[in-house]
Amino acid sequence: MAITKNGMYVICGRPNVGKSTLANALAGEKVAIVTSKPQTTRNRITAVCERGDTQFVFMDTPGFHKARNKLGEYMNDVVRESVADVDAAVLVVEPEPEVGKPEAILIDRIREMGLPAVLVINKRDTVKPPEVLGVIAAYQKAYDFAEYLPISAKNNEGVDTLLDVLSRFAQEGGALYPSDMASDQTERQIAAEVIREKMLICLEREVPHGVAVAIDRYEREDGILNISATIYCEKESHKGIIIGAKGAMLKRIGELAREELEDARGEKIFLETWVKVKENWRDSIAQLKNFGYAES
């Protein structure tokens, strides 16, 4: 079916409410890394899907939080700037019967932009149905949302209903992205993010938030995709934790990343990783630019 309508939507919320899980469910494939740790997403990621005659474009944003460094400030700026020039906002919250400060700030921004908005109450599978009513009541007082939708992004429950609701805000026009495109990320960016995801999963809580991944080589040769990546951390002690005893931790991170990338790409991959220290890079504008976390 030809695409005759399109809609652009921002997915916003506090850290760890399931925004990236929702973006992946909407795209029908993994376009954003997902872990149980907050602030996993650092950049705005575009997820694209088509349904009938409509192309939906979603911007998955970092979690809005209290910034403690320039990286955190950049992430919050991404959220603020994303709530503009879209057809509607999708505010994702957990099933708690109160409007927190991060949600209140985002609602103010949505109100300021005059945007229609849908409240998505994620993780509905973790509470009893009557508890959801209290969540809806709290948010009805805060903003006149177009719809209040309890869903479970992890279980792909309620996602189709969300698309039905968002189709109301689509505009007349052709496709904004190629039909076979699920995300605007390059292969190099995805490789770097997959490596960082495995670090978030494998490492201690305080270490992975201070790491960045740079892809130094991404070349196909003799039927093998060769990837060389440098992991940057902020402390020598963190470098030791990332490498692990006799290199065991770095090897595990590399193996997990390579396996996922091979499954996604359908090709043989040789992945080489190195670890270097760049102290306080999260507070350096120059380093943030180098890692793609600030405007050039």
**Which domains can be identified in the chain, with CATH numbers?**
5-172 (3.40.50.300), 187-290 (3.30.300.20)
Average pLDDT rounded to a whole number, residues 259-287: 92
Question: Does position 35 have pLDDT exceeding 80, yes or no?
Answer: no
* 43 contacts: CB under 8 Å, gap ≥ 6: 62, 78, 292, 293
Average pLDDT rounded to a whole number, residues 191-212: 84
Q: Name the residue with higher pLDDT: 76 or 115.
A: 115
Q: Is 276 left (phi over 0), alpha (psi -120 to 50) or beta?
A: beta
* 248 contacts: CB under 8 Å, gap ≥ 6: none
Q: Per the confidence metrics, is the pTM higher than 0.75?
A: yes
Q: Name the residue with higher pLDDT: 59 or 260.
A: 260
Question: Does position 14 have pLDDT exceeding 50, yes or no?
Answer: yes
Question: Does position 65 have pLDDT exceeding 60, yes or no?
Answer: no
- Token pair for 21: 């899980």
Q: Name the residue with higher pLDDT: 98 or 209.
A: 98
Provide, rounded to the nearest whole percent, the portion of the chain with pLDDT above 90: 60
Pairing of strands 171-172, 147-150: unpaired
Helices of type H across 114-186: 129-142, 159-166
When pLDDT is cut at 50, 70 and 90, the band that residue 154 belongs to is very high
Residue 250 to residues 211, 269, 271, 275: CA-CA distances in angstroms? 13, 17, 11, 9
Q: What is the pLDDT of residue 188?
A: 92
Question: Does position 207 have pLDDT exceeding 90, yes or no?
Answer: no
When pLDDT is cut at 50, 70 and 90, the band that residue 296 belongs to is very low
Q: What is the pLDDT of residue 152?
A: 96
